Structure 1
Amino acid sequence: MTPPEAQSRPTHKPRPWVDLLVSIIIPSVILMKLSGDEYLGNVMALVIGLAFPLGWGLFELVRYRKYNFIAVLGVISVGLTGGIGLLALDAGWLAIKEAAVPAVIGIAVLLSTRTRYPLVKTLLYNPTVLDVDKIQAVLKERGSEAEFEERLLKASYFFSLTFLFSSIMNFVLAKWIVTSPSGTQAFNEELGRMTLVSYPMIAIPSMIMMIAIFYYLWRSIRRLTGYTLEEVMAPHLAAQQERKSSDTPSGGQDQ
C-alpha cells in the first residue's frame, strides 16, 4: 500500500511560464533596472533578485519532495552566484561556477551509467512517464533487453553531451557579458543580462536536445516492442488522456 504521507503529497505539475517568470525574467529585471543607488542599491538588488529563483527552487524541493540531484544542484548554483556577488570575489569565479554546475551534472550522468540507476532512467525512462513494467515485459519476451540497454547507454552519452554544451556556453556567456568587478552596479546589470540571454542561447537549445533524446528513446521502444506511444504511457497519464477525450463533447450532439 502507498504510505498516507505519499497519498497526501501534492502532485508536481510542470509550470514552464511560472518557472520562466520567477527564475529568469523577474531576477533579470531587478538586477538590470533596480541596482542603482536611487533604487535598491547593488547589494539589495542582488539579494532580492536571486531570492526569487532560490526561493522558488526551495519551495519546489520542500513542497513536492523533489530532492533529486539536479534540483539540489540548481539551488546551490543560485546560492553560489549570490555569494560571489556579496563577497565581491573576482568575476572570473562566476564563469567557473557557471561552467562547473552543468559539467558536474554531465559527469554524474556518465558515472551513473556504471550503477544500477542511470540518470537517464531516472529522468526519462521512469514510471511517471512510461509504463516501464509493460515495456520490460515485452522486451524480455522478445529477448531484446540487452539491445535496449545498449540504446539506454547511448541515450545517457547523448544526455551528458547536452550538459557539456551547457557548460561551454555558460562559460563563454559569463566571460563575454560579465566583465565588471563583482559587488558593483555594473556587475549586477551584466549578471541580469546574462541570465536573460542564457534562456534563448542555452536553455532552449538544451531543451531541444532533451526532446531529441526522448524521441530517440521512444523510437527504440517502438522498434523493439511494437507499441505506440499511447500504449506505453504511464497508467496515470493514459487515464488523464482518456478523461480528456471523454470530457470533449462530440461534434454531432444537439445543443
Structure 2
Amino acid sequence: MTSNRTTTPQPQTAGNLFANLAFNIVIPVLILSKLSTDDYLGPVWGLVAALAFPIGFGLWELKQSGKLNFFSIVGIISVLLTGGMSLLQLDPKYIAIKEAAVPGLIGLLILISGRTRFPLVKTILENMQLLNLTLLKEKLSSNGTEQQFEQTLDQATRIIAGSFFLSSVLNYLLAKWLLVSPPGTPAYNEELANMTALSYPVIAIPSTLIMMGAIWYVFSRIPKLTGQSLESFFHEQ
C-alpha cells in the first residue's frame, strides 16, 4: 500500500512527523499484519480499516493547510487505487505497475516543470521562505549570472526528477518481490503490510536524501554566482 509519502521536502514539526509515520505506516501495518485474520477483522475489512487511516490523515492535512497540494492529492489517489485494486482482487502485478507509475509520472511532470516559468526547485525555494529571493535576483543580475543560476535550477530539477524515477523502479521491485499471495487473503494483507513498512527505509529515505542533495547543490552554487556568502541571503529573524 502506497502511503502519502509522495511529497516534496517540506519543514515538519516533530509532532507532524510522528503523526505522519503513525497514520501512514505504523497503524496500517499493525492492522494489516495483526488484525486481518478471520479471528479479527478479516482480510477485506482489515484492508478497509488500514486504508482509512492514511486516507483520513491525508484529507485532514489538506484541510489544515487550507489549500490543495498536488503531491498530497496524488498520495491519497495512490492509496485509493491500491485499495480499489486489492478489494477487486486484481492480480498483484497491477499493484506493482501502479506503484511504479505514480512516482514515474511525478518525475515526468517535474521534468516538464523545468521547461515552464515555475520549475519545481524554484517553487520549493519559494515555499521554504528561507532565502531573500528578491535580493538574490538582484545580485545575480548585477553579476550577470542569472542564466547560470537558471541552469543550476534546471540541473537540480533533473536530479529531483531522477529521485522519483528511482522510486518508480524501487516501488516496482519491492511490490513484485513481496506481493505473491492472492488478494483477499490474510497472507496478502500481511505482504501489503511488509511493503508499507519497507517503503520508508528502502524508498522514501533514499529519495528524500537525493532531493535534499539537489537543494544543497543549489545553495552551494549561490556564493559562487553572487560573490557573497549564502548566509547573507537568509531572511533576518
- Structure 2 segments unaligned to the other structure (5+ residues): 1-10
1:201 corresponds in structure 2 to: 202
Matched residues in 1 for 2:132 and 2:201: separation? 33
Question: Compared with structure 1, are the counterparts of its residues 36 and 66 closer, same or farther at alpha carbon in structure 2 (3 Å cutoff)?
Answer: same
2:35 corresponds in structure 1 to: 34
- Aligned-pair distance for 1:63? 1.5
Secondary structure of the residue aligned to 1:36 is: coil
Residue 106 (str. 1) matches residue 121 (str. 2): no
- Aligned-pair distance for 1:38? 0.6
1:161 corresponds in structure 2 to: 162
Residue 215 of structure 1 aligns with an amino acid whose one-letter code is W
Tell me if the contact between 1:109 and 1:160 (Cα under 8 Å) persists in the aligned partners. yes
Tell me if the contact between 1:126 and 1:132 (Cα under 8 Å) persists in the aligned partners. no
1:222 corresponds in structure 2 to: 223
Residue 172 of structure 1 aligns with an amino acid whose one-letter code is L
Moved more, 188-197 or 114-123: 114-123
Matched residues in 1 for 2:205 and 2:46: separation? 27
Matched residues in 1 for 2:229 and 2:142: separation? 17
Matched residues in 1 for 2:96 and 2:35: separation? 23
Residue 23 of structure 1 aligns with an amino acid whose one-letter code is N
Secondary structure of the residue aligned to 1:122 is: helix
Residue 67 (str. 1) matches residue 68 (str. 2): yes
- Aligned-pair distance for 1:117? 0.8
Question: Compared with structure 1, are the counterparts of its residues 124 and 33 closer, same or farther at alpha carbon in structure 2 (3 Å cutoff)?
Answer: farther
Q: What are the within-5 Å matches in structure 2 for residues 1-255 of structure 1?
A: 13-14=12-13, 15-126=16-127, 128-233=129-234, 235=235, 238-239=236-237
- Aligned-pair distance for 1:225? 2.1
Moved more, 187-196 or 114-123: 114-123
Residue 213 of structure 1 aligns with an amino acid whose one-letter code is A
Tell me if the contact between 2:121 and 2:215 (Cα under 8 Å) persists in the aligned partners. no
Matched residues in 2 for 1:141 and 1:95: separation? 51
- Structure 1 segments unaligned to the other structure (5+ residues): 1-11, 240-255
- Aligned-pair distance for 1:200? 0.6
Identical-residue share of aligned pairs (%)? 47
Question: Compared with structure 1, are the counterparts of its residues 121 and 74 closer, same or farther at alpha carbon in structure 2 (3 Å cutoff)?
Answer: same
Matched residues in 2 for 1:28 and 1:76: separation? 19
Superposed CA deviations along residues 153-193 of structure 1, whole A, max 9, x for unmatched, are: 01111110000100000000000001111122111110010
Matched residues in 1 for 2:162 and 2:195: separation? 22
Q: TM-score, normalization: structure 1?
A: 0.84
> Superposition RMSD on alpha carbons, in Å?
1.6
- Aligned-pair distance for 1:126? 4.2
2:3 corresponds in structure 1 to: none
Residue 99 of structure 2 aligns with an amino acid whose one-letter code is E
Higher relative contact order (CA 8 A, sep 6+): 2
Matched residues in 2 for 1:145 and 1:222: separation? 13
Tell me if the contact between 2:89 and 2:183 (Cα under 8 Å) persists in the aligned partners. yes
Residue 99 of structure 1 aligns with an amino acid whose one-letter code is A
Residue 103 of structure 1 aligns with an amino acid whose one-letter code is G
- Aligned-pair distance for 1:13? 4.7
- Aligned-pair distance for 1:128? 2.3
Secondary structure of the residue aligned to 2:27 is: helix
Tell me if the contact between 1:109 and 1:120 (Cα under 8 Å) persists in the aligned partners. no
Larger radius of gyration: 1
Superposed CA deviations along residues 24-68 of structure 1, whole A, max 9, x for unmatched, are: 111111111110011111111111111111111111112203412
Tell me if the contact between 2:30 and 2:193 (Cα under 8 Å) persists in the aligned partners. yes
Q: Paired residues, what number?
A: 225
